[in-house]
Amino acid sequence: MKQNYINGAWVDAASSSANINPSNTNDIIGHYAQADAQQTELAIAAAAAAAPGWALSNIQMRADALDKIGSEILARKEELGTLLSREEGKTRPEGIGEVARAGAIFKFFAQECLRLRGDKLPSVRPNVDVEVTREPVGVVGIIAPWNFPIAIPSWKIAPALAYGNCVLIKPAELVPASVWALTEIISRAGLPPGVFNLVMGRGSVVGQAFLHDRRVNAISFTGSAATGAKVALAAIGRMAKVQIEMGGKNPLIVLNDADLATAVNCAVQGSFFSTGQRCTASSRLIVEKGIYPAFVAAVKEKLAALTVGDALGAGIDIGPVVDQSQLDQDMAYIGIGREEGATLAFGGERIECATPGFFLRPTLFTDCSNDMRISREEIFGPVGMVIPADSYEHALALANDTEFGLASGIVTTSLKYATHFKRHAEAGMVMVNVPTAGVDYHVPFGGRKGSSYGSREQGTYAAEFFTTVKTAYCGV
């Protein structure tokens, strides 16, 4: 059994769960510990005990530890990327790319340790000094999803540690191996016991314990909108700091003046790569009527040339869906699209490969309307849909007509429309002539409306969540 890591020690749990390769369900990657409520309580107690000391720890020591972690991740990116692809199903190049991103994130936050800033200001009163400083929040409970098994945990863990917080992390049950491997690296970085704790187990047990224990000062969650709403309510109910990243129904507008190759590349990458299992996926392609026929024909041609198969295979463009339940959800939405009257222009069926896995042909619906369920609800699979638009103004109105607001993209050669779109797209991240998915690691990540709640993740903006502001007045 791969153990949990609590208070600086590897510990067995009462039970374990099998981690299964979605490309080949005969391949069991390993058995991973499942903490119960009692073990989770021990982890919370360890983190709470370590917090006061870690909050005052030397910033050079924190920077060195994070830098060491980042270096080892980068040095082992091929091995760790292979493991990631084996457990999650994105292709090996995508897995290696994600691991490299995780390494870069640790190195970025290693430097951020050294850049903690404050303000010293004159007071409006005579003979008084005012100082504004940032302090750690304390213990941070991290609840992670399955679709980015190492990048999302890293962009929560690295800033938490950099700003002097203790960490409790619960990876998604479907993908414990990447965070376990990351923990093994962190365990050798010289952090005091209790500063970093891995608590693998069920959301309903471990996640719930984080949410309801007052010693956990902040909760950083990424996952579905349904779970996110429950997490937010529980955290706010006891006044814990909370940051929630959820889904999207991200539009990509293609205008008549777009470069066709750029439009097709953005659409195919954004909608179908990583098996469409990205919250930033382009799940609504809103296409102006003048370019619509050429665009649909070119996307279909590109989809026909893609190879679906074992995530670890050479030359594979699209790996499997993550598990049976996600595959069932994708197939159910394909059925819904047909019933709603959308045209099934490509795919729509499972694929048999050499190994038993959850393979689905990339699927394209055309002639969709924005009020169909497939245009409003997040599918989270390799299913794209094309919605015709009469004009730029019509396309923008359709793009903004959604419950979500994570990413929003446009493909155009017009500076006027690009500039207008950047200003008027109701989303946290706006993309012009680049795919909606695939973001930088050093700038803020997050959305609006039903996609996100709380302050932004990543880049220097992460300090907002992982620190708390103190204003000190001093009579002189």
Ligand X SMILES: NC(=O)C1=CN([C@@H]2O[C@H](COP(=O)(O)OP(=O)(O)OC[C@H]3O[C@@H](n4cnc5c(N)ncnc54)[C@H](OP(=O)(O)O)[C@@H]3O)[C@@H](O)[C@H]2O)C=CC1
Catalytic (active-site) positions: 245
Q: Which two tokens stand for residue 361?
A: 């042909």
Pairing of strands 196-198, 166-170: parallel
Which of 40-48, 141-149, 258-266, 332-340 is the region at the interface with ligand X (rule: CB under 6 A)? 141-149
Q: Which is nearer to ligand AKG, 106 or 292 (CB)?
A: 106
**Alpha-carbon distance 322 to 89, whole Å?**
6
Q: What string marks each residue from 33 to 72 as x (binds ligand AKG by CB under 6 A) or -?
A: ----------------------------------------
Q: How far is the CB of 224 from ligand AKG (least distance, A)?
A: 11
438 binds, among ligand X, ligand AKG, none (CB under 5 to 8 A by kind): ligand AKG
Q: Which is nearer to ligand AKG, 199 or 439 (CB)?
A: 439
**Segment 347 to 376, residues that bind ligand X, using CB under 6 A:** none
**Alpha-carbon distance 70 to 99, whole Å?**
10
Which of 43-51, 142-150, 306-314, 369-377 is the region at the interface with ligand X (rule: CB under 6 A)? 142-150
Q: Which is nearer to ligand X, 46 or 279 (CB)?
A: 279
Which of 31, 76, 202, 449 binds ligand X (CB under 6 A)? It is 202
Of all residues in this chain, which one has the CB nearest to ligand AKG in the complex? Answer: 278
379 binds, among ligand X, ligand AKG, none (CB under 5 to 8 A by kind): none
Q: Which two tokens stand for residue 186?
A: 């962190």
Q: Which is nearer to ligand AKG, 279 or 312 (CB)?
A: 279
**97 lies in the binding site for ligand AKG (CB under 6 A):** no
Which of 105, 169, 279, 312 binds ligand X (CB under 6 A)? It is 279
Q: Which residues, listed in sequence order, are joined to residue 468 by a DSSP beta bridge?
A: 135
DSSP 456: P
**Alpha-carbon distance 415 to 417, whole Å?**
6
Residue 363 sits at φ, ψ, to 5 deg, of -125, 135
Count of chain residues binding ligand X (CB under 6 A):
28
Which of 395, 406, 427, 439 binds ligand X (CB under 6 A)? It is 406
**146 lies in the binding site for ligand X (CB under 6 A):** yes
| Centroid of chain to Cα 277 | 10
**172 lies in the binding site for ligand X (CB under 6 A):** yes
Q: In whole angstroms, how large is the CA radius of gyration of the chain?
A: 23
| Residue in this structure with the two tokens 């005012």, named with its chain if needed | 130
**Alpha-carbon distance 241 to 218, whole Å?**
4
**Segment 223 to 282, residues that bind ligand AKG, using CB under 6 A:** 278-280
400 binds, among ligand X, ligand AKG, none (CB under 5 to 8 A by kind): none
**Alpha-carbon distance 116 to 163, whole Å?**
8
Which of 222, 265, 271, 283 binds ligand X (CB under 6 A)? It is 222
| Residue in this structure with the two tokens 């370019």, named with its chain if needed | 291
Which of 145, 337, 381, 435 binds ligand X (CB under 6 A)? It is 145
**Alpha-carbon distance 339 to 331, whole Å?**
12
143 binds, among ligand AKG, ligand X, none (CB under 5 to 8 A by kind): ligand X
> 3-class DSSP state for residue 27?
coil
Which of 70, 89, 103, 223 binds ligand X (CB under 6 A)? It is 223
| Residue in this structure with the two tokens 């314990």, named with its chain if needed | 209
Residue 405 sits at φ, ψ, to 5 deg, of -165, 50
**Alpha-carbon distance 332 to 194, whole Å?**
44
**439 lies in the binding site for ligand AKG (CB under 6 A):** yes
Cα-based angle 144, 150, 151 (whole degrees, multiple of 5): 90
439 binds, among ligand X, ligand AKG, none (CB under 5 to 8 A by kind): ligand AKG
Q: Do 113 and 62 meet the contact criterion of CB atoms below 8 Å apart? A: yes
Q: Do 399 and 425 meet the contact criterion of CB atoms below 8 Å apart? A: yes
**Segment 141 to 170, residues that bind ligand AKG, using CB under 6 A:** 147-148, 152
**Alpha-carbon distance 291 to 313, whole Å?**
35
Q: How far is CA 244 from CA 230, 379, 427, in A?
A: 10, 19, 15
247 binds, among ligand X, ligand AKG, none (CB under 5 to 8 A by kind): ligand X
Binding site for ligand AKG (CB under 6 A): 147-148, 152, 278-280, 437-439
Q: What residue ranges bind ligand X (CB under 6 A)? A: 143-147, 170, 172-173, 202-204, 207-208, 211, 222-224, 227, 230-231, 245-247, 279, 378, 380, 406, 451
